[in-house]
């Protein structure tokens, strides 16, 4: 399918394939009728544009949870380090300025609510039922498990859980997202939906 997005999505840094983004858009468009959408791991806002554009039409919102200090693989000296996002004054990654610029360019500042914090912090005392949760945060085992435990219980019946970077074969990629995908599958809470590329999808029973 072809989706009319408010910006040239290829100009936004990120690792989301087009078919995965379009699947997020389709599911968000339906599930935001149940409640807000929440994503973990916004980076520079590529996935957020897909989710935000889908929710804007229904006058709903996207909570975008990210500490904006980068995942393990984004750090100095690592494989996916981007020097343009490195703040040498504090010797840390900082993608928030670029994220905000992406939301401004897409006209989504009144649709997307940035939460600059980790899952563990952002989820403390969380009470808002969610129509969809998209997990694409840190790929260490601890980070992925924390993201899963923090948000899955807040998905309303009929809502969607989406998990990015599912690689059953360890030679293709890290296993932490795949491990929480297996948790969701074994939990009895979800109906498994067809995968889209590396995007695992479930519907809450």
pLDDT, tens digit, 9 for 90 and up, residues 37-94: 999 999 999 999 999 999 998 999 999 999 988 676 666 656 666 667 777 667 678 8
Query: What average pLDDT does range 115-126 have in this prediction?
Result: 97
Res 25: pLDDT = 97
Instruction: Give me the pLDDT at residue 96, please.
Output: 94
pLDDT at residue 144 is higher than 90: yes
Alpha-carbon Rg for the chain in angstroms:
16
User: What is the model's pLDDT at position 137?
Assistant: 93
* Alpha-carbon span 177 to 139, nearest angstrom: 7
In the structure, what pLDDT confidence band is assigned to residue 148 with cuts at 50, 70 and 90? very high
Mean pLDDT of 126-151: 96
The residue among 190, 180, 122 whose CA lies nearest residue 155 is: 190
Q: What percent of the chain has pLDDT over 70?
A: 90
| CA–CA dist 193, 201 (Å, integer) | 5
Poorest-pLDDT segment among 18-22, 29-33, 77-81 = 77-81
Distance of alpha carbon 65 from alpha carbon 40, whole angstroms: 5
Q: Among the listed ranges 89-93, 156-160, 163-167, 168-172, which one has the minimum average pLDDT value?
A: 89-93
Average pLDDT over residues 92-112: 94
User: Catalytic pick from 67, 68, 74, 139?
Assistant: 139
DSSP collapsed to 3 states, the chain: CCCCCCCCHHHCCCCCCHHHHHHHHHHHHHHCCCCCEEEECCCCCHHHHHHHHHHHCCCCCEEEECCCCCCHHHCCCCCCCCHHHEECCCCEECCHHHHHHHHHHCCCCCCEEEECCCHHHHCCCCCCCEEEEEECCCCCHHHHHHHHHHHHHHEEEEEEEEECCCCCCCCCCCCHHHHHHHHHHHCCCEEEEEEECCEEEEEEC
Domains of the chain by residue range: 17-204
The CA distances from residue 94 to 25, 65, 184, in Å, are 26, 14, 31
Residue 81 bears catalytic tag? no
pLDDT score of 153 more than 90: yes
* pLDDT band per the 50, 70, 90 thresholds, residue 120: very high
Sort 85 into a burial class: Cβ within 10 Å, 0-12 / 13-18 / 19+.
buried
d(C-alpha 25, C-alpha 107), whole Å: 16
Model pLDDT for residues 88-98, shown as the tens digit of each residue: 667 678 899 99
Structure tokens belonging to residue 10: 């290829």
Q: Which CATH architecture has domain 17-204?
A: 3-Layer(aba) Sandwich (3.40)
pTM of the model: 0.93
Q: pLDDT value at position 92?
A: 73
């Amino acid at each position: 399918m072809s989706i009319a997005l408010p910006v040239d999505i290829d100009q936004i840094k990120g690792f989301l394939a087009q078919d995965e983004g379009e699947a997020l858009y389709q599911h968000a468009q339906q599930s935001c009728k149940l409640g807000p959408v929440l994503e973990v791991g916004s980076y520079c806002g590529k996935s957020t544009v897909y989710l935000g554009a889908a929710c804007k039409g229904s006058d709903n919102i996207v909570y975008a949870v990210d500490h904006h200090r980068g995942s393990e693989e984004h750090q100095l000296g690592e494989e996916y380090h981007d020097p343009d996002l490195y703040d040498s004054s504090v010797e840390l990654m900082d993608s928030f300025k670029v994220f905000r610029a992406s939301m401004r360019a897409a006209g989504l500042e009144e649709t997307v609510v940035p939460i600059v914090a980790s899952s563990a912090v952002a989820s403390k005392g969380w009470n808002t039922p969610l129509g969809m949760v998209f997990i694409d945060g840190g790929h260490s085992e601890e980070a992925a498990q924390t993201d899963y435990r923090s948000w899955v219980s807040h998905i309303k019946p009929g809502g969607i859980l989406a998990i990015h970077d599912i690689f059953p074969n360890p030679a293709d990629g890290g296993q932490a997202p795949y491990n929480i995908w297996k948790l969701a599958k074994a939990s009895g809470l979800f109906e498994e939906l067809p995968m889209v590329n590396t995007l695992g999808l479930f519907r809450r029973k």
